[in-house]
Amino acid sequence: MRPWNLLALAAVVFAGIAVTAASGQLPPRADRLGSQPAGGSASISIAAVSNFGYQPDTIGNLPLSANITVTFTDDDVLPHTFNISSREGFEIPNDYTAAQLNQLFTEYHALYAAEVNYEGEVSVGNFTSPSSPGWYEFICNQSGHFAEGMYGFIAFGEPVPSNLTRHGTGSEIPTTGSTVIAVLGGLIIVAVLAGIIIWRRRRGAHRPPPELLP
């Protein structure tokens, strides 16, 4: 196979991978559960992980007015908390100070709060989910952890909106940015390779045909 045909093949394969990566990404695990009826019960498992993250950091489509059992595990060496703000639809500004976080949780008491203090500790508890659809932010209130990006989002009766800021290390959601970069990078490579192929073909067209072997 001629080198430029190999290049063309590589371009097609890469484009296929880029498109697959862009379109084939599954929504976060909890969102794949689909809508659930009001009432009843549900269980969620969440872990505090190293570098100030939650795994997962996005949990959606939990049932309304339901008994939610929470299993919160410390998969890190530091103590962490899991505090769900009851302020519906409010994305806490990333520059909130400890005082502002305290003020928020004083005005909007936590829907649920748990803490784990050492690696491997598991906290199990439960709370009743809200009666109407909405999303909420949860944070770790250990000093400095929110500022490091230790937060996530939980939604009842709906998926977590896709436009919220996330930078926890435990993210299950590929960011839109990385998808866009993958697609753009793939398209640029395809364009460059196509240019090379066209250039080589044009150059080849001006060459005399190769001599036939005897």
- In the complex, the smallest distance separating the C-beta of residue 178 from Cu ion, rounded to whole angstroms, is 25
- In the complex, the smallest distance separating the C-beta of residue 179 from Cu ion, rounded to whole angstroms, is 28
Query: 205: Cβ–Cβ under 8 A, 6 or more apart, which residues?
Result: none
Closer to Cu ion by CB, 52 or 136: give it: 52
- In the complex, the smallest distance separating the C-beta of residue 82 from Cu ion, rounded to whole angstroms, is 9
- Give the separation between CA 196 and CA 175, rounded to whole angstroms: 32
Q: Are 168 and 150 in contact (CB under 8 A)?
A: yes
- In the complex, the smallest distance separating the C-beta of residue 76 from Cu ion, rounded to whole angstroms, is 8
Per-residue interface string for the shown chain with Cu ion, residues 71-90, x marking contact by CB under 5 A: ---------x----------
CA 188 to each of CA 31, 178, 191, 193, 211: distance values in angstroms, whole numbers, following the listed order? 33, 15, 5, 9, 37
Count interface residues toward Cu ion (CB under 5 A). 5
Closer to Cu ion by CB, 5 or 117: give it: 117
CA 206 to each of CA 9, 97, 200, 209: distance values in angstroms, whole numbers, following the listed order? 24, 69, 10, 9
| List of residues contacting Cu ion (CB under 5 A) | 80, 140, 142, 145, 150
